[in-house]
Structure formats: structure tokens, C-alpha cells
A and B are shown apart, each in its own frame.
Chain A
Amino acid sequence: IVLGTTRNNFEGKKVIHLEYEAYMSMAEKEIRKICRDVRQKWPSVKHIAVHHRLGVVPITEASVIIAVSSPHRAESLEAVMYCINTLKASVPIWKKEIYKDDYSWKENKECFWANSGK
């Protein structure tokens, strides 16, 4: 299981809460693609659950959970890593960090069209 929870600060600024939005129809499509990929790569996987909260998520709470079951833990762990890494690279969900007087749209380093190098 991977559970993504919120850090309470960024560059010294206190994070009040997070807000998530999504391109719903495409996010569901991309998540289904990820599940199909998992079943192809790790055929022993039994169940897969991916849940991402949208809207306001308070700090310390989880925004995403990924759970995979299989007869042997090695496949589950690899499949879970694949799910979270691919989700971060391809599922159209956006996170906004809300500070006291400011906010910032975050960008995953896995996102190939982000400018994190610049």
C-alpha cells in the first residue's frame, strides 16, 4: 500500500491545506490504463485499488492511496511503485498548495512537460 500524505511546509512557508482538481474523464481513463498495465506486467496481481481525493485536503491527511494484492509481496511492491510513479507522470490531476497569503501550483518532477530544469 502507498499512502500519500501532505507535508506541512514548503520553503519555509506554512502549508494551510491542499486543493486538488482533475480532468475527471481523462484521469479515470489514465488510471484504468495503469491498472491494465499492472495486470499485464504482474499477472499474479489479484486486486488493485487507486483512490485520489479531490478538492480540499487538510495537512497530515492522505490525498492518495494505492493498494495492490498478490500471492507474493515482491509483485505487490513493484506494482504499487509502478502505479504511483506512472500516476505522477500521466494522470491529469493538479495540486495547489495554499499558504497564509499565497498559493502555488505544484509540478511533479515525473511530468515531462514541466519546467523543473529551468
Chain B
Amino acid sequence: QVTVLYFARSAELAGLRSETLSVPQQITALQLWEEIIKVHPRLAVIQDQVVFAVRQEYVLLGDQLLVLQPGDEVAIIPPISGG
């Protein structure tokens, strides 16, 4: 069970800021995105413009294998605009 955090446009599309999700302990980043889309199909429109932050490290939506622990934070990161 991981905690998924939604920010900016992704929070608007998902309609919430955080939730827990049950996922396999080993999963690729893209597979994790697909799990999230099952719950929030509206997020599909931003697929090309987001990255994840897993345990506060950026991860591209691709084949990288994630090893997740219970309680890990996974954040959806739309394009940033600080500064």
C-alpha cells in the first residue's frame, strides 16, 4: 500500500490530493501509472507531461522497476513552474 499524492493539474483531474493504493511491491513506473489511470481515467490526458516522484526522487514513466515499501510516497508531478 503506497500513498499517491496529486498536485496541480493532476489534482484537478483526479479530484483529490492524496489516497492510498494497493500495488505489487515490484512494478515498473509505467505499470504504476496504468494502475492509477484505472482509478482516475481523466489523468490519461496528461500522460505525456508528467513524471513520478517516488520517495522524493524523480522517476520517468517508463520501464524502470520500482521496489515499493508499505507507506512509500508516490507523487504525480506535472510540469513545474516555480521561481
Contacts and interface: CB of A to CB of B under 8 A. Distances in A.
Interface in B20-69: 48-51, 53, 56, 58, 60
Nearest to B46: A115
B77 A91 contact: no
Contacts of B8: 21, 94, 96, 105
Dominant SS at the A interface?
mixed
A51 to B, nearest CB: 12
A85 to B, nearest CB: 8
A94 B49 contact: no
A45 interface: no
A52 B53 CA distance: 20
A108 B50 contact: no
B81 A93 contact: yes
For chain A, which range describes its interface: under 10, 10 to 19, 20 to 34, or 35 or more residues? 20 to 34
Contacts of B82: 20, 22, 27, 52, 64, 87-88, 91-95, 108
Interface of A: 4, 20-23, 25-27, 29, 52, 63-64, 84, 87-96, 105-108, 111, 113-115, 118
A108 B77 contact: no
Given A94-B8, A108-B81, 17 more contacts: A4-B83, A20-B82, A26-B53, A52-B82, A64-B82, A87-B82, A88-B83, A91-B83, A92-B77, A93-B82, A95-B81, A95-B82, A105-B8, A105-B9, A105-B81, A107-B81, A108-B82
